[in-house]
Amino acid sequence: MSIGNLSLSGFLNEMRNASTGPHSRKFCFVIGAGASVSSGIKTGKELVDEWDRELCNRNSVEYEKWKMNNRITDKNKYSFYSKYYEYLYERNPENGYNYLEKLMDKAKPSAGYVTLAGILAEKQHNVVVTTNFDHLTEDAINYYAQEMPLVIGHESLTHYITKRIQRPTIVKIHRDLFFKPANTTRAVEKLHKNWETALNKIFSEYSPIFIGYAGNDKSLMNYLVRNAEKFAKGEFCCPYWMLYKDDVLEGRVKRFLNKSNGYCIKHEGFDYVLFCIGEALGYNRPSEEIFVGDAKKRFIALSEETNKLTEKFIEDRASGVISSLDSPSIERAVQKAIEGNEQEKMYWNILVLCQSEKYEEALIEIQRLMDLAPDNARYHSLHSSILSKLGNSAEAQVSAKKAVELEPDNAAYQVKFAGALNKLERYEEALVAAQIAVELEPDDAFCQANLGAALYMLKRYEEALVAMQIAVALEPNNASYQNSFGITFNKLERYEEALVAAQIAVALEPDSAAYQLRLAGTLDKLERNEGALTAVQRAVELEPNNASYQNSLGITLNKLERYEEALTAVQKAVELKPDNAVYQVRLAGTLNKLGRNEEALVAAQIAVELEPDDAFCQANLGATLYMLKRYEEALVAMQIAVELEPDDALYQANLGIMLNELKRYEEALAAMQIAVALKPEYASYQFDLRSKLHELERNEEAKE
C-alpha cells in the first residue's frame, strides 16, 4: 500500500464525478485549527508562541525547568500545545476557558466557511468532524445557508448520529467551547469510545477530506492509524488529506495515509480549496439581493411578531386578562422593545388610539403607516377594522381583501375578510373566505365559528349548526360560541337545546347583558315567562340605558299582563330612542292595554311618521284607531299595511274585521278568506270566516 498523490484539479474532478450518478458517493470534512486562521482565530502554533512568551515573562527559571523536564525544545514545542495550555492554566482552569471564549468571540466565518455552509446545506456532503471548539461552521450555516445544523458538542450526544444523516451535522470530538473543551494532555490523549462509535458510522458512509488539520493530537490520529486497514479494505470510505503548500507528511499522518491507501492533495489554503470544491459541486453563493432580501424578510418577520404581541397586550389589558399590577411593567417592556423601530411605535400608538375609540385619529395614522409599508398585511387588516368602526363598510372590505391578497394563508385575515363581506350582505363571497379560513386552520374555534356565522347569514342553519358545534367542542368555555350555538338552535326551533347553550353562555359570562337577553328570548319561546322576565330584568340592570333591553322588558311584562310595569319599561325605551318607530309601536300597544287609547294614538301616529312604509306601524295605527271607533281611518291604515305586506295573515284578518264593522261584508269576507288561506291552522281565522259566511246565509260554504 502507498499514498496516492493527487493534484487539486484531479481531486476536484473525482469529487465532481463521484457526487452524481446512480452510485454517487458522499464526502465529509475533517477540519482542524488551520481552517480557522482566515476567520481570525490563532493557530495552535501562534498560541504556543504566545504562551511561551507569557510563561517566560512570569517566571523564566521555573519555565525553563518545566521545558527541560518535558523535553520541549524550540523545534518540537508546537507538538506540546496541550501541555502548554495545561501548565499555564493548571491553577485556574476557568481562566483558560475565559481566554478561549474571548479568542473565539471575535471570529467571523471566512469565505471558505460560507461556501462550506452552502455545501453542507445541500444534504449530500453534510457532515463536518472537527477538533475545533469554535462556532464558525454552525454560524456560517445559520447566517448564510438559513439551515439549523445538528451540533454534537459532547460525547454524551453521539447517539444522535446515525448512518442516515439528514441535516447539516457538526461533530466536535474535542467538545464544544461551552462544554469544557478537551485541551489538556490527558483529554486529548485518547478518543472517548462514544466518539469512536460515531466516527465508525460516519466513515463507513462518507469519504473524509482532511483540511487544516495537522494531526498533532493523539486522540483522533491514534484512532485513524488504528483503523487505517478498514479504510484500505473498503469498510471505511477512502480518505483525502489536504496538505498546505510546502508542508510535508510525517509521523502519524504519513503512517495513516500509507496504511489506509489514502490520497494526499497539496492546496493553497482553506478558503481557496472550499471555493474550488463549491465550484465543482455547482454551489452558487446567494446574491446580495437574495441575501439582503432574506435578512429583510427575517427582520419583517420579527417586526410582525412584535406587532402581534403588542396587539395581544392591548387586547389582554382591555379585557383584564393581564392583572393591573403586571400591566405597567409589561407596557414598559414592550415600549422598550419597540423604541428603535419607528413603524412598531406607530403601530402601538394606533392601537392605543383604537382602544380609546379615537378612530378618526387612528385612521390618519394607519394610513401613514401603510404608506411606509404598503405590503404589510397586518396594517391593511387594522385599517379595515378602523374603517369598519367608522361605518365605512365598503372601504373596510377593500382593505380586508388587500390583507388576504398579501397573506392568503393567514386564516385570521380570511375571517376578517368574511366579516367585511357579510356587512355588505355579500354572503356567498363571505362563505368562500370563511371556508378558506377553516381549510387553513380546521382546529381553530374562531374560524369554525366564523364559518357558522357565514352559513347562518345564508339561512343554511343545519350546516351552520355543524360548524358551531365544532367551535364549541374546541372551546367549550367560550361564551360567544355558546351564545351563537344557542341562536342557531333557536332558528331550527330546537328550543330545549338552545336553552342549554344560552344557559352555559350566561354561566360563563353572567355580566353580559346580551347573553341574558338571548336567554330570555329562548325562555320566551318555551313559554317560561317568569324565567324570561328574570333574565331580561338582569340585562336591564346591567345596561339600564339600552333602549332595546328596555323594550324587551316591556314585551315580557306585557305577556305577563303586568301592564303598568310594562309601560314604564317601554316609556324608558322611547325616552332613550324617541326616533325608533318600533318602540313607539310598543308604547302604543301597552297604552291600549291600559285603555289609554288617546295616548296610544299619539305614539302610533309618531311611529307612522317615522316609518310610513312600515306595515307593522300602519297596522298598529289602524288597531288604535279601531279601538277609538274611528273605523274609516282605521280601515285606511290597515289597507296600507295589507298593501305593504299582503301575505301577512294577521293584517288580512284585521282588515276583515274593520270592513265588517263598516258593513262591507263581501270585502270583509274576501279578507277573511285570504287570512285563512295564509294560516289555515289558525282556529280563530277559521271561526271568523265561518261566522261571516253564516251571517251572509252562505251556509254550505261555511260547512266546507
Of 69-83, 266-280, 323-337, where does mean pLDDT reach its minimum? 323-337
Using CB atoms within 10 Å of the CB of residue 503, give its burial: 0 to 12 exposed, 13 to 18 middle, 19+ buried.
Answer: middle
Q: How far apart are CA 604 and CA 620, in angstroms?
A: 6
Please state the rounded mean pLDDT for residues 8-13: 93
Backbone angles phi, psi at 690, to 5 degrees: -65, -40
Q: How far apart are CA 416 and CA 436, in angstroms?
A: 12
Beta carbons within 8 Å of 78's beta carbon, 6+ residues apart: 44, 45, 48, 216
Please state the rounded mean pLDDT for residues 142-163: 89
Q: How far apart are CA 434 and CA 569, in angstroms?
A: 40
| Helix, strand, coil shares, percent, the chain, to 5 | 70, 5, 25
Q: How far apart are CA 429 and CA 414, in angstroms?
A: 11
Q: How far apart are CA 599 and CA 588, in angstroms?
A: 7
Beta carbons within 8 Å of 193's beta carbon, 6+ residues apart: none
**What count of other Cβ atoms lies within 10 Å of the Cβ of residue 699?**
10
Collapsing DSSP to helix, strand or coil, 571 comes out as helix
**What count of other Cβ atoms lies within 10 Å of the Cβ of residue 233?**
10
Beta carbons within 8 Å of 539's beta carbon, 6+ residues apart: 513, 514, 516, 517, 520, 546, 549, 552, 553
Please check whether residue 539 is in contact with residue 549, taking contact to mean a CB–CB distance below 8 angstroms: yes
| Model pTM above 0.85 | no
Would you state the pLDDT for residue 700?
Answer: 57
Please check whether residue 112 is in contact with residue 120, taking contact to mean a CB–CB distance below 8 angstroms: no
Helix (H) or strand (E) holding 206: strand 206-211
Question: 1: pLDDT confidence band, cut at 50, 70 and 90?
Answer: low
Would you state the pLDDT for residue 691?
Answer: 66
Please state the rounded mean pLDDT for residues 457-468: 96
Please check whether residue 174 is in contact with residue 188, taking contact to mean a CB–CB distance below 8 angstroms: yes
Distance (Å) of CA 641 to CA 252, 542, 566, 608, 685: 109, 37, 26, 11, 18
Backbone angles phi, psi at 292, to 5 degrees: -65, -35
pLDDT tens digits, 42-99: 777 888 888 888 888 888 888 788 888 888 888 888 778 778 877 887 788 778 767 7
Q: Does residue 701 carry a pLDDT above 60?
A: no
Of 192-196, 269-273, 434-438, 590-594, where does mean pLDDT reach its minimum? 269-273
Helix (H) or strand (E) holding 264: strand 263-267
Return the domain boundaries, the chain.
Answer: 4-40+110-280, 44-104
Q: How far apart are CA 388 and CA 396, in angstroms?
A: 5
The CATH number of the structural domain formed by 4-40+110-280 is 3.40.50.1220
Task: Say which DSSP state 151 is in.
Answer: E
Collapsing DSSP to helix, strand or coil, 127 comes out as strand
Of 416-420, 480-484, 623-627, 700-704, where does mean pLDDT reach its minimum? 700-704
Q: How far apart are CA 306 and CA 302, in angstroms?
A: 6
Would you state the pLDDT for residue 703?
Answer: 53
Higher pLDDT, residue 83 or 197? 197
Q: Which amino acid is at 445?
A: A
Question: 458: pLDDT confidence band, cut at 50, 70 and 90?
Answer: very high
Length of the chain: 704
Q: How far apart are CA 353 and CA 349, in angstroms?
A: 6
- Three cell numbers written together for 160: 444522535
- Using alpha carbons only, how large is the chain's radius of gyration in Å? 43
Q: Does residue 699 carry a pLDDT above 60?
A: no
pLDDT tens digits, 40-57: 777 778 888 888 888 888
Question: 693: pLDDT confidence band, cut at 50, 70 and 90?
Answer: low
**What count of other Cβ atoms lies within 10 Å of the Cβ of residue 331?**
16
Could you give the angle at the alpha carbon of 575 between the alpha carbons of 570 and 579, nearest 5°?
95
> Residue 430: which of 407, 453, 448 has the closest Cα?
453
pLDDT tens digits, 568-600: 999 999 999 999 999 999 999 999 999 999 999
Could you give the angle at the alpha carbon of 399 between the alpha carbons of 397 and 401, nearest 5°?
70
Distance (Å) of CA 346 to CA 341, 358, 372, 377: 9, 15, 11, 15
- Three cell numbers written together for 231: 479504510
Q: Does residue 239 carry a pLDDT above 70?
A: yes
- Three cell numbers written together for 292: 439582503
Would you state the pLDDT for residue 696?
Answer: 62
Would you state the pLDDT for residue 697?
Answer: 57
Q: Does residue 361 carry a pLDDT above 70?
A: yes
Question: 515: pLDDT confidence band, cut at 50, 70 and 90?
Answer: very high
Of 249-258, 277-286, 520-529, 639-648, where does mean pLDDT reach its minimum? 277-286
> For residue 196, what are the β-bridge partners?
none
Q: How far apart are CA 247 and CA 266, in angstroms?
A: 9
Q: How far apart are CA 419 and CA 430, in angstroms?
A: 7
- Three cell numbers written together for 234: 473498503
Q: Does residue 493 carry a pLDDT above 60?
A: yes
Helix (H) or strand (E) holding 241: strand 240-244
- Three cell numbers written together for 476: 367549550
- DSSP E strand stretches across 425-479: none
Please check whether residue 243 is in contact with residue 237, taking contact to mean a CB–CB distance below 8 angstroms: no
Question: 305: pLDDT confidence band, cut at 50, 70 and 90?
Answer: confident
Would you state the pLDDT for residue 162?
Answer: 87
Q: For all residues of the chain together, what is the average pLDDT?
A: 89
Would you state the pLDDT for residue 110?
Answer: 85
Q: How far apart are CA 123 and CA 119, in angstroms?
A: 8
- Three cell numbers written together for 528: 317560561
Of 149-163, 287-301, 454-468, where does mean pLDDT reach its minimum? 287-301
Q: How far apart are CA 600 and CA 178, in angstroms?
A: 88
Percent of the chain with pLDDT over 70: 95
Q: Does residue 303 carry a pLDDT above 90?
A: no
Q: Does residue 340 carry a pLDDT above 90?
A: no
Collapsing DSSP to helix, strand or coil, 375 comes out as coil
Please provide the distance, in angstroms rounded to a whole number, between the alpha carbons at the two ends of the chain.
119
Q: Does residue 119 carry a pLDDT above 90?
A: yes
What are the strands of the beta sheet with 169-172, ordered from one edge? Answer: 4-6, 263-267, 240-244, 206-211, 26-31, 127-130, 169-172, 150-152
Percent of the chain with pLDDT over 90: 59
Residue whose C-alpha cell reads 509521523 in the numeric block: 251
Q: Does residue 534 carry a pLDDT above 90?
A: yes
Would you state the pLDDT for residue 135?
Answer: 87
> Residue 278: which of 136, 144, 162 has the closest Cα?
144
> Residue 173: which of 135, 219, 213 has the closest Cα?
219
